[in-house]
Structure formats: C-alpha cells, structure tokens
Amino acid sequence: MFQSLAKLSFTEHALAVSLAASATLLASAHLFEHVGGLVPCILCLDQREAHWTAAGVALAGLIAARLFKSRLGAAAAVGATSLVYAVSAGLAFYHTGVEYEFWPGPAICAASGPVIVDLQNLAASLNQPADAPSCSDVQWTFLGISMAGYNLLASVALFALTMGAALTETRAAREERNSVPGATT
C-alpha cells in the first residue's frame, strides 16, 4: 500500500488527502448526529454538502489520474476541489460568526431542519415548532472551538493544500508546454 502511495504525484496526493479528509469530516458529523444525538442546523447541513462535493470531485480526479492516466483531468479536479474548499471555508466562517453573534444567521436558522409533516393534520403541523436548533446554538466545543470552527480550520487547510497542488500542476504544464519546440505561449 505504501509503495502505491509513493507513486502518486503531488496532485494525486492532494486529491487523496482531500477525499480522506472530507470523508472523515462527514463520518464524524454523522456520528455526532446519529450516535451523539446532536441535531444539525441548516448551516451545518450546507457545510456537509460542500464536503460531499469535494469528496466527489477528488474521487473523480483520482480516477482520471490513475485509471485514465489523465494529468489534465487530475489538474482540473484539484483546481475545482480548491474552489469547493474555498466555499466550505466561507460557509464555516459565516456559521462561526453566527455562533459568536457577530452577525445574524439566515431567517431559516431560527427554526431550521427537516420537519416531518402529518398530512392528515397539516394545519396543526404548521403550528408546531421545528425541533432543530438555531444556527447560533453551539451544541459541542473542544478547546473552545465549535464544530463550525473546526470545519473552518480544516477547510482552510484543505484549500491551501489543493490550491498549492493546482498551482504546482499549472506551473508544470506551462513549463512542459514551453519546452516543446515550436510551442506558442
């Protein structure tokens, strides 16, 4: 296994780390929800979507690189993954600000989350409050940092890694193109 990891390029390493990190963050979030009993707010669910997207793009990039031997596909995937992590960091920054009450959350955060509606008693169901927490409610912290805060730190680190890989891959492609006789810039 370690021999196959040694054969990966920097771009492929970045994609593999992205896939593993997003999968770990998603698994942790689902464990906190289903085992720990923490109910996610709407911003928490949005942050999960960013990691599902990043994991999917990273997997597609690894498939392009390893199975189809497409360096261009891997480069595009690592660039797209860095953009997804930028969005994830933005969402986490916004959510952390809502938790610290630096700014208000979206209106849907006051009573967010999926509500199961009893169709036979629809009118009564509409008057019942949702059981999901407000986006400003911090349900868990470690060392004074909430889950949104940890997601911010992870997303910024993953953005830096994938953006570095994208820039490295772009530089290598440019140098390769310029080294070909008769190539234009």
Beta-carbon-side half-sphere exposure of residue 43 (alpha carbons within 13 Å): 31
Handedness of CA 59, 20, 43, 125 (dihedral sign): positive
Distance of alpha carbon 135 from alpha carbon 107, whole angstroms: 10
Q: Which helix (H) or strand (E) holds 97?
A: helix 71-99
One digit per residue, the tens of pLDDT, for the chain of length 185 reads 455 556 788 899 999 999 999 999 999 999 999 998 888 888 989 999 999 999 999 999 999 888 888 888 888 999 999 999 999 999 999 999 999 989 988 888 765 444 555 566 666 655 555 566 788 888 887 898 899 999 999 999 999 999 999 999 888 877 877 886 765 55
Domains and CATH numbers, the chain: 8-106+132-178 (1.20.1550.10)
Return the beta strands (E) in the chain as ranges.
141-142, 145-146
Q: What is the pTM of this model?
A: 0.79
